[in-house]
Amino acid sequence: MNHLPDGPSDPIIAKGLTKRFGDRVAVDDLSFSARAGETFGLLGPNGAGKSTTIRMLVGALKPDDGSIEIAGKTDPTRAEVKRALGYVPQEIALYDELSAEENLAFFARLHELKGKRLSDRIDFALDFAGLNDRRKDRVATFSGGMKRRLNLVTALMHEPRALFLDEPTVGVDPQSRAHIFENIETLRANGTTILYTTHEMEAAERLCDRIAILDHGRLMARDTVDALLQAHGTKTRVAIDLRQLPSQAVVETLPGELTGTTLRIEADDPFVMIGELRRFELDVARIQVERANLETVFLDLTGRRLRDT
């Protein structure tokens, strides 16, 4: 199911990436590429190998096998490659005892920013993160959402051509999540190539031009959201809420999956399916038809739900 890279000039190219931790294969022969200016998503449950992949791409982890090409260079540990990429780790990689401004200035100086450019970029980053009024405050005093926003803009100080975001909205309040999504959309509109890992299908659907679905370190599918839905989400899902459970004998003959008092069934034609359910004489409270989404795509590909893994 692995795909070859789209083109030799893509700013992010992974070929046959493999990483083992002892006997466990975290990433298994993974190949994909992100085109210039697109937001490419790595979607998968926890432990799918997303963070391991992104760490190999940014040079923080050495692959056991395979090759990487970032901005045309094959060694991501080289300084010129590091200058071209920005990395937002899953952890809040900031110094709590430094102020927002000091954190930005420190990481920017490592990218050789100084003088007016440095102060301009700090102003831009703080505006972008909506933290201008807190610039002198220590990060330790920030909320989780504010830290996440600062975590993101710290990677933007040197205006990287390729941005690697490793679950940048984990544990974030809705307002900050919306802010970060808007930030990413702005960056995307400005032509930054973004590699975005997430286990949240809503984020992937909203932000990503193309998505690679990973499970157990392997690439399950890779395409645009629409194409994936078309290929793997053709069936319609119907959720039926029951007032009371039927007898055990009836439950054993029911189609679909019964969770609590909710019965979920996939069908090519939901109306035909609902008609067929009449013979079970169910005490129905509500019937909801769910459109196909990445959750159904993942279910179709792996036989498991994304949320349940």
Partner 1 sequence: MNNIVHLMFKDLRLLVRDRFGLFWIFVFPLVYALFFGAIFSGQSGGGGGGKIGIAVVDQDESTSSKAFLELLAKHPSLSVRQNEDGSPRSMPLDAARDLVRRGKRAAYVALRKGFGDQGIDVFAPSRDVAQALVEVGVDPSRSAEKGYLQGILAESTFRHTIDGFADREKTKRDIARMSARVRDDPAIPAPQKLLLGVFFSALDRFLAGIDVSALASSTSDGASGESGMNLARIDLVDVTVEDEGPQSAFQITFPSAILWGLIGCASGFAIMIVRERTLGTMARLLTSPVTLSEILLGKGAACFVTCVAATLFLLLVAWIGLGIGLGSIPKLLVGVAASAFSFVGIMLVCSLLGKTEQAVAGATWGLMMPFVMLGGGMVPLIAMPSWMQQLSSVSPFKWCILALEGAIWRGFSWAEMVTPCLILVGVGVAGATVAFFLFRRTVARA
- Contact footprint for partner 1 (CB under 8 A): 55, 58-62, 79-80, 82-83, 85, 87, 89-95, 97-98, 102, 106-107, 109-112, 138, 154-155
The arrangement of strands across the sheet holding 39-43 comes to 85-88, 162-166, 193-198, 39-43, 210-215, 218-224
Q: Which is nearer to partner 1, 74 or 175 (CB)?
A: 74
Q: Which is nearer to partner 1, 162 or 238 (CB)?
A: 162
Q: How far is the CB of 14 from partner 1 (least distance, A)?
A: 16
d(CA 105, CA 280): 67
Q: Which is nearer to partner 1, 110 or 231 (CB)?
A: 110
- Tokens 């409270």 belong to residue: 285
Q: Which is nearer to partner 1, 147 or 177 (CB)?
A: 147
24: Cβ contacts below 8 Å, ≥ 6 apart: none
- Biggest alpha carbon–alpha carbon distance for the chain: 77
Q: Which is nearer to partner 1, 95 or 271 (CB)?
A: 95
Side chain identity at 262, as an amino acid letter? T
Name the 3-class secondary structure at 87. Answer: strand
Asked if 215 and 48 touch (Cβ cutoff 8 Å), the reply is yes
Beta bridge partners of 41: 196, 211
Q: Which is nearer to partner 1, 180 or 219 (CB)?
A: 180
Q: How far is the CB of 217 from partner 1 (least distance, A)?
A: 17
Q: Which is nearer to partner 1, 32 or 107 (CB)?
A: 107
Q: How far is the CB of 122 from partner 1 (least distance, A)?
A: 15
Q: Which is nearer to partner 1, 31 or 154 (CB)?
A: 154
DSSP code string of 101-159: HHHHHHHHHHTT--HHHHHHHHHHHHHHHT-GGGTTSBGGGS-HHHHHHHHHHHTTTT-
Name the 3-class secondary structure at 67. Answer: strand
Q: How far is the CB of 91 from partner 1 (least distance, A)?
A: 3
Q: How far is the CB of 113 from partner 1 (least distance, A)?
A: 11
Q: How far is the CB of 35 from partner 1 (least distance, A)?
A: 22
Q: Which is nearer to partner 1, 138 or 235 (CB)?
A: 138
Q: How far is the CB of 277 from partner 1 (least distance, A)?
A: 50
Asked if 157 and 111 touch (Cβ cutoff 8 Å), the reply is yes
* Nearest Cα to Cα of residue 163 among 130, 125, 191: 191
Q: Quick count: other Cβ atoms within 10 Å of Cβ 115?
A: 7
Q: How far is the CB of 79 from partner 1 (least distance, A)?
A: 4
Q: How far is the CB of 110 from partner 1 (least distance, A)?
A: 4
d(CA 302, CA 1): 13
d(CA 72, CA 127): 32
